[in-house]
């Protein structure tokens, strides 16, 4: 089989290797679609920790090709999507329900081989059956949506809220849709790229604006009678945007730092400002118990996953996709069998 192997920051090669063999509780999946994530780009550029050498790609779907001897609920030919996060279930965090903070967490595409390959081995418990009517590309969007469901839960959007989403990449576009589903009265999407703003508007944003901070402040204050937004979600992974989020929220409002900023970046926040205005600032980490919810939202078409996908590439195009995120308006899907010809 062919697989795209991350060697070190800036180096990723397509190599040929024998397909792996599943263990007793594992299944071998023939990968049909794998999304390119912002964290993949961060790994590629050296701004996010990951094992190396390793096959990246954690947003994927495909068909079960082979089953381990103790697999009970799956069989060859079943279509599945994958939760890449493998937890131990026994550490203190797992036993308290905080599985996203598992002390022995392993992740396909980060610490274990992932979906930028023709085949990938997955624990049976991490494979979710999908309907025949759901495209593999849409099913590959379940993992990022599951993370966004966690984020929108942390944001606690209420009926009638004004919600600002900073960043209109695939994650921001999912958050825009979820905010609408939660009952937000007005959703504002902010991004410097005009094609992304157009896509945000098509997917339900009531207002869109360029990322210029003065323009953003004017748009938000105009939509809120000068008060600021009820909820501001930073989804771009830009530290300057995380700073701006705190400035855009109203007194008593909530800020969610969702995007993955470089780990060594810092910003200045006044404790007095947070205390005096009773601000809530929260982070959001991966997808605890939200994968099935995300799958249901996509299969019911309450979330328009296919509408976010703008590009399909093969394994040979991954390096370019990881190097130049601004070339793409929406989600990039890797299909190991894709040919541009």
pLDDT reported for residue 326: 73
Domain parsing of the chain, residue ranges: 2-141+305-334, 148-283
Mean pLDDT of 8-19: 97
Residues 6+ apart with CB under 8 A from 226: none
Question: How confident is the model over 161-198, as pLDDT tens digits?
Answer: 999 999 999 999 999 999 999 999 999 999 999 999 99
**Closest CA relative to residue 144, chosen from 117, 125, 169:** 169
Q: Which CATH class is domain 2-141+305-334?
A: alpha beta
Both structure tokens of 44: 């590629």
pLDDT reported for residue 281: 98
Q: pLDDT above 70 covers what percent of the chain?
A: 99
Q: What is 148-283's CATH number?
A: 3.40.50.720
Both structure tokens of 300: 């019911």
pLDDT confidence tier of residue 324, bands split at 50, 70 and 90: confident
pLDDT confidence tier of residue 325, bands split at 50, 70 and 90: confident
Q: Is the pLDDT of residue 28 over 80?
A: yes
Q: Is the pLDDT of residue 341 over 70?
A: no
Beta strands in 38-118 (DSSP E): 54-55, 59-67, 79-82, 85-86, 106-107
Whether 242 contacts 284, CB under 8 Å: no
Mean pLDDT of 96-110: 98
Render 204-242 in DSSP notation, one character per residue.
T-SEEE-S-HHHHHHHHHHHTTTS-EEEEEE-S--HHHH
Mean pLDDT of 151-162: 98
């Amino acid at each position: 089989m062919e697989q795209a192997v991350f060697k070190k920051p800036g180096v990723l090669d397509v190599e040929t290797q024998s397909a792996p063999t599943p263990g007793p509780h594992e299944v071998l999946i023939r990968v049909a679609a794998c999304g390119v994530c912002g964290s993949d780009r961060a790994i590629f550029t050296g701004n996010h920790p990951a094992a190396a050498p390793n096959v990246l790609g954690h947003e994927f779907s495909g068909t079960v090709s082979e089953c381990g001897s103790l697999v009970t609920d799956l069989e060859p030919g079943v279509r599945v999507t994958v939760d890449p996060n493998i937890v131990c279930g026994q550490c203190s965090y797992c036993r308290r329900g905080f599985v996203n903070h598992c002390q022995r967490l392993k992740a396909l595409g980060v610490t274990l081989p992932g979906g930028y390959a023709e085949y990938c081995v997955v624990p049976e418990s991490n494979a979710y059956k999908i309907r025949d009517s759901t495209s593999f590309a849409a099913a590959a969007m379940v993992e990022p949506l599951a993370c966004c469901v966690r984020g929108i839960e942390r944001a606690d959007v209420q009926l009638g809220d004004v919600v600002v989403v900073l960043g209109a990449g695939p994650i921001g576009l999912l958050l825009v849709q979820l905010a609408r589903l939660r009952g937000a009265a007005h959703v504002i999407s902010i991004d410097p790229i005009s094609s992304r703003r157009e896509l945000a508007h098509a997917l339900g944003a009531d207002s869109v604006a360029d990322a210029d901070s003065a323009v953003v402040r004017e748009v938000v204050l105009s939509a809120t009678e000068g008060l600021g937004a009820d909820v501001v979600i930073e989804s771009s992974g830009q530290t300057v945007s995380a700073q701006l989020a705190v400035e855009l929220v109203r007194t008593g409002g909530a800020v969610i730092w969702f995007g993955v900023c470089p780990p060594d970046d810092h910003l200045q926040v006044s404790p007095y400002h947070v205390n005096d205005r009773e601000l809530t600032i929260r982070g959001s980490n991966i997808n605890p118990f939200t994968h099935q919810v995300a799958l249901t939202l996509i299969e019911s078409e309450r979330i328009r996953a296919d509408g976010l996908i703008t590009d399909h590439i093969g394994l040979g195009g991954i390096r370019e996709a990881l190097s130049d995120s601004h070339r793409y308006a929406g989600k990039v899907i890797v299909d190991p069998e894709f040919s541009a010809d």
